[in-house]
Chains A and B, each alone.
Chain A
């Protein structure tokens, strides 16, 4: 009887672990790859603008007197952050970005009429410096963390801006997904938490980085 109870308990434990693992975000789902990053014009334009900004960041890092505005504090975080291990870099970046003002970006979606008379819905994304200057919404938080971690040397292939549907909030929400060395995924939240083990409260919608766009199915 005792053996049967233990076997039953073991089976339930295995089922729970499996369900959790399945629910966690996976970077290795090749069928979800939708297109190159350039296929989404607004995102591609944001990447281009950030590339231009990187020159200013680089000059600031090389010479402190070249830093102005938010670049001073950014430089400080980058210099100090470079000396931390990966785990602590993630925590530092998460907290530094989350201190910014939350602001619904009314430019986030706007209807514009293009030649030919067709209305086109355009999405707006902020670069790192744009976000540090004026804040933004959860998408902007995730994008800013992505760019800042790239400056700290995190590979693009190990990070994605991940748009989810959060079941408890009943709303769409963006986080930054980071793949760790052990293959697990950490989700950097805008409330300062880092969700490591159990992603079941999210339904994954789509993700993007500078290498591509992934469609997770809604």
Chain B
């Protein structure tokens, strides 16, 4: 009986809180979206990381492509 009373009181309290939340919600979905996008846009994303030695085996073909690409850029810069 005691448990039943406590459960009913919790349910009543939860319903009261839910009603209160509904009364304070006045913004439509578009405004909510704009607010959320503005919040996301204000996050300053600038963390810098140093290059680390990869634990994967070095791939000679990838290394070769990267070196050749770099050489092309150096060549371009010198022209």
The distance from the CB of A12 to the nearest CB of chain B, in whole angstroms, is 26
Q: Mark A170-203, 1 if CB is under 8 A from B, else 0.
A: 0111100000000000000111110000000000
Specify which of B40, B49, B59 is in contact with A189 (CB 8 Å cutoff): B49
Question: A39 touching B45 by the CB < 8 A rule?
Answer: no
Q: Mark A202-218, 1 if CB is under 8 A from B, else 0.
A: 00011000000101000
Question: A121 touching B73 by the CB < 8 A rule?
Answer: no
| Chain B residues with CB under 8 A of A193 | 52, 54-55
9 A-B pairs with CB atoms under 8 Å apart are A34-B33, A35-B37, A81-B65, A88-B62, A98-B51, A108-B46, A138-B49, A171-B47, A191-B49
| Chain B residues with CB under 8 A of A191 | 49-52
Complex formed: what's the CA distance from A138 to B47 in Å? 6
Specify which of A76, A163, A173, A205 is in contact with B65 (CB 8 Å cutoff): A76
Interface centre among B42, B49, B73, by most chain A C-beta atoms within 10 angstroms, is B49
Which residues of chain A from 58 to 96 have any CB-CB distance to chain B below 8 Å in the complex?
A: 69-70, 72-73, 76-77, 80-81, 84, 88, 91-92, 95-96
Question: A34 touching B41 by the CB < 8 A rule?
Answer: no
Any chain A CB within 8 A of the CB of B38? Answer: yes
Specify which of A76, A139, A213 is in contact with B68 (CB 8 Å cutoff): A76
Query: Residues of B at under 8 Å CB distance from A?
Result: 33, 36-38, 40-52, 54-56, 59, 61-62, 65-66, 68-70, 72-73, 75-76
Question: A173 touching B69 by the CB < 8 A rule?
Answer: no
Residues A91 and B41 in contact in the complex (CB < 8 Å), given A96-B66, A192-B52:
no
Any chain B CB within 8 A of the CB of A150? Answer: no
Complex formed: what's the CA distance from A76 to B68 in Å? 8
The distance from the CB of A55 to the nearest CB of chain B, in whole angstroms, is 20
Query: Residues of A at under 8 Å CB distance from B?
Result: 34-35, 39-40, 42, 69-70, 72-73, 76-77, 80-81, 84, 88, 91-92, 95-96, 98-99, 102, 104, 108-109, 121-123, 137-139, 163, 166, 169, 171-174, 189-193, 205-206, 213, 215
Question: B59 touching A91 by the CB < 8 A rule?
Answer: yes
| Chain A residues with CB under 8 A of B62 | 84, 88, 91-92, 95
Question: A88 touching B59 by the CB < 8 A rule?
Answer: yes
Specify which of A42, A137, A215 is in contact with B48 (CB 8 Å cutoff): A137
Chain A residue, CB-CB nearest to B48: A102
Complex formed: what's the CA distance from A88 to B52 in Å? 18
Residues A73 and B52 in contact in the complex (CB < 8 Å), given A88-B59, A109-B44:
no
| Chain A residues with CB under 8 A of B45 | 108, 137-139, 163, 172-174
Question: B66 touching A172 by the CB < 8 A rule?
Answer: no
